[in-house]
Chains A and B, each alone.
Chain A
């Protein structure tokens, strides 16, 4: 066999049997103690491409895919939210049915909460107890944070799609989003649903302001305007309702705790004082062609982070602003960044 024939044959063998590069992922060591911002990037539903980005506001460095790089495995499908508690990070991965517990400095997995089919948000009731809301289960899962096991489930009287949770004393408030219009009240001592309040169609957010008032944002439907609602959590009275144009439903309500201001997205990004009696006239950040997808306020500095998912299939951008609206930085993160989680000192 001459030299060329031999080369040709080897080439054919390589062409036929070359490896398709699917195998173990290398693991990277991180040590990011100190302040930082976690950005959960949802990815695309059923595309298995959710990711976690980490941003250091001091050095302005962004690290993408930190979960995958630290653990050698994917985060999963639709990273919905993240919370920090007792020195641990809890990343809620909606369509993977899991909450990963990670070390917020090394990003390594230290535990996981399973047996939740479609988790949305996690809230810490006390040192040993966390509640998890779900898109489809009409119950809130009660987690023992020492073992990461489900301890019990609180019946929501048929209300599926429980979302964000806010606690005032022993009462926990939760908004029911999909095809619903309720804010439910759970007694955290008896772990029972004790009360409810009707608001507008599809309340998608819930925050507690510095004055101790609850705020929610509803999407509205035919014959009902989208609105912001201010609620007295003690009496469950609706104190104020701010209607918005039907084409611009509000979402992603966030609180600047330091300055007691509310931010929300309604086509533009808006900011209003928590004790304002009317909607602002001028947006904090005007719409520039794409819908803003995520919004987060740094509780330490009052800085504003706004996510633009662009076409939902590429590395999105996050814009960082001073509380006064001055541009600070622009960072590239993963696909469809939906929520921010701030690691404080």
Chain B
């Protein structure tokens, strides 16, 4: 590993020799700062975080989980690259963060959550995070919030190509290619990303010792072994095709189709004493998402329709061979096939500068077929009846009115109604207010409140065994208030915001054991009160010497407290923080740019996370605070026919030995180098 780092540094040091001017490789730009008083009508009172393009385009190896960790106040629970990464937004569960891609829901209709490790950040052109009540404008059920992801037309006119190759520690390879064309009417973009890794990093296993055993079976010594991450290899393939057409009349059509094919090993727990020839776990997934859309402006009216389709084929396979010969037989073979059809119609109307109205309706039809194919009913010799086939129609209707009676004040009201299967949620209302407190510094006060509902997932209702068809929707009530300010002069800009939030969720769905051994069932039981503070700071400046300095940071204090009734007299979880949700989290990225050089430094911190609901502080009751430092140096070069960039990254700079989730050791210092090539097709 150290040798890899040395090679990397040597490569970086050769950079200056090749230094030339490059105008296209650079993607980082100082964020646009809104001019005081011009606040979009659509944004009245809305708490929204836009993920900076510098964060999304940091590396081809980065997933949206990485981008959200460093660029927002969301807590991402993950135990390494290419492993399940779920979000906790304002102290809520993963299923309380709703995610859309080009307007179509991404949350699994079976599980309710999104695995952010499966979304390459290079495939996302627009990512916005809507906090709390602001999510009502996007979709229902976002008790924590919502994230919208989108693709957009390529910026550069004519034909463009960019190829990036990454080579990293643990035999990791990433290849990215984007071919794009933008003409007067037509645009096209094709993106391909292939990532493979042995992911067999070495770690000192402090969870399970190695024993020196004599021929008589007696132990004569023990030590903490230096061992490799087992069964963590992965292969991801992503393909994204987009087409755009704009008619002379102003009709805009688009098609975006994204196919992903992954085969990931699920690394063994550090205490697992099986060998990789005795047991292996893997998860394969093939997903196709496609959305076509049309929209057009008719004076003050904007209208649009969308249609989409998602096919998801998931397989979790666990195999064993007790003889250790590698002749595996399945012991769990859980498969799910999901078809989702999507349609949406939307309209926005702004009759004048004071009023704006919006309405939309979205429909999703899910067809799910899921079960464990490995289970055999020994009484019949046939496959056990664990399969469920379900269809569900979901409809979400939305209307909003936004009013700015005076330039300083904005008021907005949203109303949403949702139907799932043959049930409906009560009306979901949300109210928003903003007030321009001071033009100097563009100081804006914002407040919002909403009642929200999240209906149960298909697994909650129908999973075999254990599904509970009588579940009610989870009920949320949330409000927040905040202040934000932005300052700008010709050289520098500063934007900062602070928000306080308070949410209560009743009938939180929790899976608990049943009287049948090994069978769990969901019930509406928990009440959770989450509240906290979020702060953001973005600053940039250009010195007279041509140095450009950028800083982007965020900080969150989140209490997510169980306010439910005691399960029994002995229950000590009431009044305590929910498991795996940090009270404190912070992240910042600092960048220094000079001529064709860019140095970036990322720092991330989570306070300790409890792993027991009674917030016990023993070895098994907590994960120690997490502190991570990454550094990267990039050099851009310009040649006659192409632009070249070379970037070296060092992760876990201080070579920490750590776990982010119990039993899941993480890689120590490791490195990667990326080379980007951008040919100049007729643009010299």
Q: A residues engaging B (CB < 8 A)?
A: 15-25, 43, 46-49, 51, 64-65, 68, 71-77, 93, 95-98, 109-112, 114-118, 134-137, 139, 141, 144, 146-149, 153, 158-160, 176-182, 201-202, 204, 219, 247-249, 251, 265-267, 288-291, 293, 308-317, 330, 334-335
Given A22-B659, A139-B322, A77-B218 contact (CB < 8 Å): no
User: Is the CB–CB distance between A23 and B320 below 8 Å?
Assistant: no
Least Cβ–Cβ distance between B480 and chain A, in angstroms: 28
Residues of A within 8 A of B620 (CB): 43, 49, 51, 65, 68, 74, 334-335
A179 to B278 alpha-carbon distance, docked (Å): 23
A-B contact pairs, 28 of them (CB 8 A): A15-B605, A20-B659, A22-B659, A23-B206, A48-B270, A64-B618, A73-B207, A75-B271, A77-B269, A96-B208, A111-B213, A111-B219, A114-B273, A115-B278, A117-B322, A117-B331, A136-B320, A141-B322, A149-B217, A158-B378, A179-B375, A182-B378, A202-B516, A249-B515, A288-B568, A290-B571, A310-B567, A314-B616
Contact A115 B322 (CB under 8 A): yes
A42 to chain B, nearest CB (A): 11
B626-641 Cβ-contact flags toward A at 8 Å (1 or 0): 1101000000000000
Question: Across the interface, do A96 and B614 meet the contact criterion of CB distance under 8 Å?
Answer: no
The B interface, classified by DSSP as helix, strand, loop or mixed, is loop
Instruction: Choose among A97, A112, A316 the residue that contacts B211 (Cβ–Cβ < 8 A).
Output: A112
Contact with A along B378-411 (1 / 0, CB 8 A): 1100001000000000000000000000000000
Which residues of chain A have C-beta atoms less than 8 A from B513's C-beta? Answer: 291, 293, 309, 312
Least CB separation from A137: chain B residue: B322
A75-B271, A111-B219 given; name 19 further pairs at CB < 8 Å: A15-B627, A22-B624, A22-B665, A23-B657, A25-B206, A47-B662, A48-B662, A49-B611, A49-B662, A51-B620, A68-B620, A73-B224, A74-B271, A76-B208, A77-B272, A111-B213, A136-B331, A312-B513, A335-B612
A20 and B625 contact, Cβ closer than 8 Å, known pairs A49-B662, A72-B209, A111-B218: yes
A117 to chain B, nearest CB (A): 4
Contact (Cβ within 8 A) A77 B322: no
Q: Which residue in chain B gives the minimum CB-CB distance to A75?
A: B271
Instruction: List, in ascending order, chain A residues with CB within 8 A of B624's CB.
Output: 20-22
A117 lies within 8 A of B320 (CB): yes
B518 nearest CB neighbor, chain A only: A178
Does chain A have a CB within 8 A of B316? Answer: no
When chains A and B are docked, how far (Å) is the Cα of A322 from the Cα of B572? 26
Q: Which residues of chain B have C-beta atoms less than 8 A from A181's C-beta?
A: 378-379
How far apart sit A134 and B172, CA to CA, in the bound complex (Å)? 37
Q: Counting CB contacts under 8 A, is B547 at the interface?
A: no
Q: Across the interface, name the chain A residue whose C-beta is closest to B626.
A: A20
Tell whether, in the assembled complex, residue B322 and residue A146 are in contact, meaning their CB atoms are under 8 Å apart: no
Q: Which residues of B contact A (CB under 8 A)?
A: 206-209, 211, 213, 215-219, 222, 224, 269-274, 278-279, 320-324, 331, 375-379, 384, 510, 512-518, 566-573, 579, 603, 605, 611-614, 616, 618-620, 624-627, 629, 654, 656-659, 662-665
Smallest CB separation, B620 vs chain A (Å): 4
Question: In the complex, which residues of chain B have a beta carbon less than 8 angstroms from the beta carbon of A139?
Answer: 322
Taking the closest CB of chain B, its distance from the CB of A133, in whole angstroms, is: 12
Q: Once bound together, how far apart are the Cα atoms of A251 and B519, in whole Å?
A: 13
Enumerate the 9 nearest inter-chain pairs by beta-carbon distance, A residue then B residue, closest first: A48-B663, A147-B217, A97-B274, A21-B624, A20-B658, A76-B271, A314-B614, A180-B378, A317-B570
Whole-angstrom distance between the alpha carbons of A176 and B321 in the complex? Answer: 20
Q: Is the beta-carbon distance between A47 and B273 smaller than 8 angstroms? A: no
B619 near A96 with CB under 8 A, answer no
Report whether B217 and A288 are in contact in the complex, using a CB–CB cutoff of 8 Å: no
- B577 smallest CB distance to A (angstroms): 12
Give the complex CA separation of A112 and B567 in angstroms.
38
Residues of A within 8 A of B569 (CB): 288
Also in contact, A137 and B273, with CB within 8 A (given A111-B219, A314-B614): no
The residue that A25 contacts in the complex, of B510, B619, B659, with Cβ under 8 A, is: B619
B611: which A residues are within 8 A, CB to CB? 47, 49, 313
A264: min CB distance to chain B, Å: 11
B657 contact set on A, CB distance < 8 A: 20, 22-23
Enumerate chain B residues within 8 angstroms of A20, measured Cβ to Cβ: 624-627, 656-659
Question: Contacts of A118 on B, CB cut-off 8 Å?
Answer: 320, 331
